[in-house]
């Protein structure tokens, strides 16, 4: 866990379109992502980034996924890092070997993004539970990520999808100041063109929903810098 706490994932996949899609969806879920497109590159990037989790395609040019898995496991810092292998349908024998060589899970292609993300979270929860809590809470505000339910004290808070992701992002890092550009990237996605002012509009809506009856505002506006979730909020 580095840089404020988001889990980091190394995606090793030689199909560019799939790699990009995985990256996009993982980033939306709050993971930090780096890609490698062949086995040799995977080993180099793994040494450099020391990921919290590796998604490893079976069929790779040069070094196969199985060989990459074996070599990663022989590196001290990678011994306990979860490795999730991607295999093509029908590679039943391979997939058993995959588990034997120390992969923590395997996902058979083609898979849905929902399934992929759920399996990753399950692996993370098993190996590093603190990185992927189902419920985020700060003081009287809580987010249940499995049901997308947000509550303040005994009241349900109804948020639009953007406001929900904004709150989730801010609450993951209490006290950290996010610029509007950083929020655009993590909440809207880096390939979407939205003006920075849009962030202000959605933060406004989020505040209105959270502070319906004039309670303490958990979101701090930091002049000319951005927004943060007030780290003193949970302290009575
Ligand atoms: Ca492949």
pLDDT digits (tens, 9 = 90+) for 157-176: 999 999 999 999 899 888 88
Q: Which residue, among 46, 53, 58, has the nearest Cα to 92 in the 3D structure?
A: 58
pLDDT digits (tens, 9 = 90+) for 176-194: 899 998 898 888 876 677 8
The confidence score (pLDDT) of residue 156 equals: 95
Average pLDDT over residues 145-160: 91
For residue 33, report the distance from its CA to the centre of ligand 1, in Å: 18
Fold of 8-131: Rossmann fold (3.40.50)
The confidence score (pLDDT) of residue 89 equals: 67
* CB within 8 Å of 222: residues ≥ 6 apart: 177, 228
For residue 77, report the distance from its CA to the centre of ligand 1, in Å: 25
Distance CA 68, CA 74 (A): 10
For residue 155, report the distance from its CA to the centre of ligand 1, in Å: 48
For residue 175, report the distance from its CA to the centre of ligand 1, in Å: 41
The confidence score (pLDDT) of residue 130 equals: 58
For residue 145, report the distance from its CA to the centre of ligand 1, in Å: 32
- Residue 227 — pLDDT band, cuts 50, 70, 90? very high
Q: Which residue, among 9, 114, 4, 112, has the nearest Cα to 53 in the 3D structure?
A: 9
- Residue 218 — pLDDT band, cuts 50, 70, 90? very high
Report the share of the chain in percent with pLDDT over 90: 48
For residue 14, report the distance from its CA to the centre of ligand 1, in Å: 5
**13, pLDDT greater than 90:** yes
Q: In terms of pLDDT, which residue wins out, 139 or 93?
A: 139
The confidence score (pLDDT) of residue 76 equals: 80
pTM recorded for the entire structure:
0.58
Mean pLDDT of all residues belonging to the chain: 87
The confidence score (pLDDT) of residue 4 equals: 43
For residue 59, report the distance from its CA to the centre of ligand 1, in Å: 4
Average pLDDT over residues 12-26: 95
Average pLDDT over residues 94-101: 64
The confidence score (pLDDT) of residue 189 equals: 74
The confidence score (pLDDT) of residue 96 equals: 63
Q: CB–CB of 2/19 below 8 Å?
A: no
- Residue 148 — pLDDT band, cuts 50, 70, 90? confident
Residues of the chain with CATH 3.40.50.2300: 8-131
pLDDT digits (tens, 9 = 90+) for 35-55: 999 999 999 999 999 899 999
Q: CB–CB of 53/7 below 8 Å?
A: yes
Q: What is the 8-class DSSP label of residue 188?
A: I
For residue 29, report the distance from its CA to the centre of ligand 1, in Å: 23
* 135-229: CATH number: 1.10.10.10
- Residue 201 — pLDDT band, cuts 50, 70, 90? very high
For the stretch 149-155, contacts whose Cβ atoms lie closer than 8 Å and that sit 24 or more positions apart, written own/partner, are: 152/210, 152/215, 155/212
Q: In terms of pLDDT, which residue wins out, 78 or 19?
A: 19
The confidence score (pLDDT) of residue 196 equals: 86
For residue 56, report the distance from its CA to the centre of ligand 1, in Å: 9
Residues of the chain with CATH 1.10.10.10: 135-229
């Amino acid at each position: 866990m580095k840089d404020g706490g988001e889990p980091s994932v190394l995606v090793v996949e030689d199909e560019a379109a799939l790699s990009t899609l995985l990256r996009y969806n993982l980033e939306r879920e709050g993971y930090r992502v780096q890609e490698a497109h062949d086995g040799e590159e995977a080993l180099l990037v793994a040494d450099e980034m020391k990921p919290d989790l590796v998604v490893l395609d079976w069929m790779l040019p040069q070094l196969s996924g199985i060989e990459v898995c074996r070599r990663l496991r022989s590196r001290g810092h990678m011994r306990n890092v979860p490795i999730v292998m991607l295999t093509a349908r029908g590679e039943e024998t391979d997939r058993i070997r995959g588990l034997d060589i120390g992969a923590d899970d395997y996902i058979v292609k083609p898979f849905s993004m929902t399934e992929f993300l759920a399996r990753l979270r399950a692996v993370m929860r098993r190996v590093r539970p603190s990185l992927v809590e189902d419920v985020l809470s700060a003081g009287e505000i809580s987010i249940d990520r499995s049901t997308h339910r947000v509550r303040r004290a005994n009241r349900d808070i109804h948020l639009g999808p953007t406001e929900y992701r904004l709150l989730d992002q801010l609450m993951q890092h209490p006290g950290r100041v996010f610029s509007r550009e950083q929020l655009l990237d993590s909440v809207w996605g880096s390939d979407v063109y939205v003006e920075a002012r849009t962030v202000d509009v959605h933060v406004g809506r989020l505040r209105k929903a959270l502070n319906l009856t004039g309670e303490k505002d958990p979101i701090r506006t930091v002049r000319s810098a951005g927004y943060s979730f007030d780290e003193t909020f949970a302290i009575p």
